[in-house]
Amino acid sequence: MSDLKTTFAGLNLKNPIIISSSGLTNSPEKNKKLAEAGAGAIVLKSLFEEQIALEATQMKDSVYYPEGGDYLVAALHHHKVSEYLRLIKESKAVCNIPIIASINCYSDSEWVNFSKAIEEAGADALEINILALQSDNRYTYGSFEQRHIDILKHVKQHINIPVIMKLGHNLTNPVALINQLYANGAAGVVLFNRFYQPDIDIDKMEQVGGQVFSNGSELSESLRWIGIASSVVEGMSYAASGGVHTPKDVVKTILAGASAVEVCSTIYKKGNESIRPMLDFIASWMNDKGFERISQFKGKLKVKDIQGVNTFERTQFLRYYGTKE
């Protein structure tokens, strides 16, 4: 029998399917059903620093007296954090799998201090998302990457549970950043966070939202960088996110060097009942290939030569385009 157990960021998972932070994971009731459907771990709906800051600013601007505005802002922060801590506690009470808290932050501020409360509420790990476009023409090269490191170091001062960094794909060299995150105590990285997809309605001549859900073609970026990074920063734990829609996608990411995957869009589209067939396929594939454990094939197709023309990227590039007339 195939054993689907895996270890990601120091967490022991019964299988590599992690439900990504989304509206799917914003209540204990939903999380209980996901756990019962076979999920290996759950990342709770993120608490957004930027959203809280925006609401606080709007609230403060609407109050005539500065002291009154400050009081309401403090009350808002307390309310949002209290709600989130309740989500952690209640989800832990009804789920028998790891519950990973998630915060989405854009600054290294005192706001991240509440990570200690997240640990005390019972979260098994904390996933940090730092998702922002760097579009200022006065931007200092490397400052965005340094922000990741500073926030990680700040959070690590307050908690002992594993810290997972979920990265966006707008990085010049993800490997160099992953190496620094590992050196500063990150237990795992998730590649990659998905940006909001903008579009334009040419009839109404206005900006609109694009595709909410990912598609299978987006997986290639995760495969590329997990395949490369896992060869260089071997001590780091990796998970893929974005474009994981089929059981084959899960197998691909593990072959590239990942320990787990985060899924979201496919659950929205096909429901919780899509988890079990994915697990059945992975087990069947492992049996066919003679693998008893995930560890036996994890990373078998990662980069073999990072110093020269590596087997994962440049060699395949030359082979692909060399056949096109």
Which mean pLDDT values do the consecutive 10-residue runs of the chain (325 residues) have?
A: 95 98 96 98 84 50 49 54 93 98 78 83 95 69 89 93 93 94 98 82 86 81 94 96 95 97 96 97 98 96 67 57 53
CATH class of 6-322: alpha beta
Question: How do beta strands 206-209 and 198-201 pair?
Answer: antiparallel
3-state secondary structure of 52: helix
Question: Tell me, what's the pLDDT at 142?
Answer: 85
Other C-beta atoms lying within 10 Å of the C-beta of residue 307: 5
**Rounded CA separation 123/31 (Å):** 14
Question: How do beta strands 99-104 and 163-167 pair?
Answer: unpaired
Residue 208 is given by DSSP the state E
Helix ranges (DSSP H) in 15-131 = 28-37, 49-61, 66-94, 115-120
Rg (CA), the chain: 21
**Rounded CA separation 305/312 (Å):** 9
Q: Estimate the crossing angle of helix 66-94 against helix 28-37, to 10 degrees.
A: 30
Question: Tell me, what's the pLDDT at 79?
Answer: 63
Residue type, 289: K
**Chain length of the chain:** 325
State how far Cα 101 lies from the chain centre: 11
Question: Tell me, what's the pLDDT at 251?
Answer: 98
Question: Tell me, what's the pLDDT at 171?
Answer: 86
Q: Which residues contact 198 (CB under 8 A, 6 or more apart)?
A: 207, 208, 209, 210
3-state secondary structure of 301: coil
From residue 196, alpha-carbon distances to 168, 180, 199, 212, 239 in Å are: 11, 27, 10, 8, 20
Partner residues linked to 128 by β-bridges:
103, 165
Report the helix count and the strand count for the chain, using DSSP H and E. Answer: 11, 13
DSSP readout, 263-297? E-HHHHHH-GGGHHHHHHHHHHHHHHHT-SBGGGT
